[in-house]
Structure 1
Amino acid sequence: MKKKISIAIIVLFVFKIYAQEFSSQVKRFITVDDTEYAITDVTVIDGTGSASKTNQTIIISNGKIKAIGNDLEIPNGTTTIDGTGKTIIPGLVMLHEHMFYTKPFENWFSVGQMTFTFPRLYLAGGVTSMRTGGSIQPQTDLNVKKWINEGRMTGPKMHVTGPFIEREGPKVPELGFIDSPGEVSKIVNYWADKGVTSFKVYNNITKEDLKICVEEAHKRGLKVTGHLCSLTYEEASNIGIDNLEHGFMAASDFVKNKEENICDPFEARQGLTNEPVDGETINNLIDLLIKNKTVITTTPNVFEPYTDREIVPGNGLDALAPQIQERIKEDYKRAQGRDAASLARFNKNLTWVKRFYDKGGFLVAGTDPTGAGRTVAGYANQRTVEILVEAGFTVEEAIKICTLNGAIFLEQEKLLGTLEVGKQADIILINGDLNFDIKNIRNMEIVFKDGVGFDSKRLFDSVKGQVGLN
Structure 2
Amino acid sequence: MSFKYLITVSFALFWILTLHAQSYTEQVKRFIAVDTNSVAITDVKIIDGTGNAPLSGQTVLFSEGVITEIGENIKIPEETLIIDGTGKTLIPGFVMMHEHIFYSMPFENWFSVGQMSFTFPRLYLAGGVTSMRTAGSIEPETDLNLKKWIEAGKMTGPRMDVTSPFIEREGYDIAELGFVSSPEEVRKMVQFWADRGVTSFKVYNHITREDLKVCVEEAHKLGLKVTGHLCSVTYQEASEIGIDNLEHGFMVSSDFLEDKQVDFCDPFRSREAIRALEEDSPEMKSLIDLLIKNQTAITTTPVVFEPYTDHEMIPGGGEEALATQVLERIKSQYDRMQGRDSSVHVQFKKDLKWLKQFHDKGGHLMAGTDPTGAGRTVAGYANQRTLEILVENGFSLGEAIKICSLNGAIYLGMEENTGSLEKGKWADMILIDGDLEDDIRNIRKTEIVFKKGTGFDSAKLFESVKGKVGLN
* Distance across 1 between alignment mates of 2:97 and 2:352: 18
Counterpart residue type for residue 297 of structure 1:
T
Q: Residue 170 of structure 1 is aligned with which of 169, 172, 184? A: 172
* Distance across 2 between alignment mates of 1:314 and 1:185: 40
Structure 2: segments with no counterpart, 5+ residues: 1-17
Structure 1: segments with no counterpart, 5+ residues: 1-15
* Distance across 2 between alignment mates of 1:17 and 1:26: 14
The residue number in structure 2 matching 1:298 is: 300
Q: Residue 401 of structure 2 is aligned with which of 399, 402, 407? A: 399
- Report Cα offsets for 1:219-247 as digits up to 9, x if no partner: 00000000000010000000000000000
The residue number in structure 1 matching 2:458 is: 456
The residue number in structure 1 matching 2:344 is: 342
* Distance across 2 between alignment mates of 1:96 and 1:309: 21
Superposition CA RMSD, Å: 1.1
Counterpart residue type for residue 202 of structure 1:
Y
The residue number in structure 2 matching 1:412 is: 414
* Distance across 1 between alignment mates of 2:383 and 2:267: 27
Counterpart residue type for residue 469 of structure 2:
V
Counterpart residue type for residue 41 of structure 1:
D
CA contact (8 A) 1:148 1:156 kept: yes
CA contact (8 A) 1:315 1:379 kept: yes
Offset of residue 17 of structure 1: 11
Offset of residue 337 of structure 1: 2.2
CA contact (8 A) 1:243 1:297 kept: yes
Counterpart residue type for residue 24 of structure 2:
F
Q: Residue 58 of structure 2 is aligned with which of 56, 59, 72? A: 56
The residue number in structure 1 matching 2:14 is: none
Q: Give the paired residue count.
A: 455
Counterpart residue type for residue 201 of structure 2:
F
CA contact (8 A) 2:19 2:37 kept: no
Q: Residue 68 of structure 2 is aligned with which of 63, 66, 69? A: 66
Offset of residue 39 of structure 1: 0.5
* Distance across 2 between alignment mates of 1:31 and 1:356: 40
Counterpart residue type for residue 384 of structure 1:
T
Offset of residue 308 of structure 1: 4.7
* Distance across 2 between alignment mates of 1:152 and 1:54: 37
The residue number in structure 2 matching 1:276 is: 278
Counterpart residue type for residue 225 of structure 1:
T
The residue number in structure 1 matching 2:4 is: none
TM-score normalised per structure 1:
0.96
Offset of residue 311 of structure 1: 0.8
Q: Does 1:148 pair with 2:125?
A: no
* Distance across 1 between alignment mates of 2:338 and 2:368: 26
Q: Residue 386 of structure 1 is aligned with which of 385, 388, 398? A: 388
CA contact (8 A) 2:20 2:36 kept: no
* Distance across 1 between alignment mates of 2:116 and 2:257: 36
The residue number in structure 2 matching 1:32 is: 34
- Report Cα offsets for 1:172-215 as digits up to 9, x if no partner: 00000001111001110111011111100000000000000000
Offset of residue 339 of structure 1: 2.4
Question: In terms of mean alpha carbon deviation, does 92-101 or 266-275 score higher?
Answer: 266-275
- State percent identity of aligned pairs: 66
* Distance across 2 between alignment mates of 1:57 and 1:192: 42
Could you say what secondary structure the match of 1:304 adopts? Answer: helix
Q: Does 1:83 pair with 2:97?
A: no
Offset of residue 18 of structure 1: 4.2
CA contact (8 A) 2:140 2:163 kept: yes
The residue number in structure 1 matching 2:3 is: none
TM-score normalised per structure 2:
0.95
Offset of residue 279 of structure 1: 1.1
Question: In terms of mean alpha carbon deviation, does 329-338 or 362-371 score higher?
Answer: 329-338
The residue number in structure 1 matching 2:267 is: 265
* Distance across 2 between alignment mates of 1:60 and 1:412: 19
Aligned ranges 1:22-421 → 2 under 5 Å: 22-306=24-308, 308-421=310-423
Offset of residue 307 of structure 1: 5.3
The residue number in structure 2 matching 1:439 is: 441
- Report Cα offsets for 1:425-462 as digits up to 9, x if no partner: 10110011111100001100000001000000000010
Offset of residue 19 of structure 1: 1.5
* Distance across 2 between alignment mates of 1:93 and 1:174: 26
* Distance across 1 between alignment mates of 2:235 and 2:310: 32
* Distance across 2 between alignment mates of 1:59 and 1:306: 43
* Distance across 2 between alignment mates of 1:79 and 1:203: 51
Could you say what secondary structure the match of 1:130 adopts? Answer: strand
Counterpart residue type for residue 164 of structure 1:
F
The residue number in structure 2 matching 1:9 is: none
* Distance across 1 between alignment mates of 2:78 and 2:130: 30
Counterpart residue type for residue 77 of structure 2:
P
* Distance across 1 between alignment mates of 2:459 and 2:411: 29
The residue number in structure 1 matching 2:6 is: none
* Distance across 2 between alignment mates of 1:79 and 1:200: 43
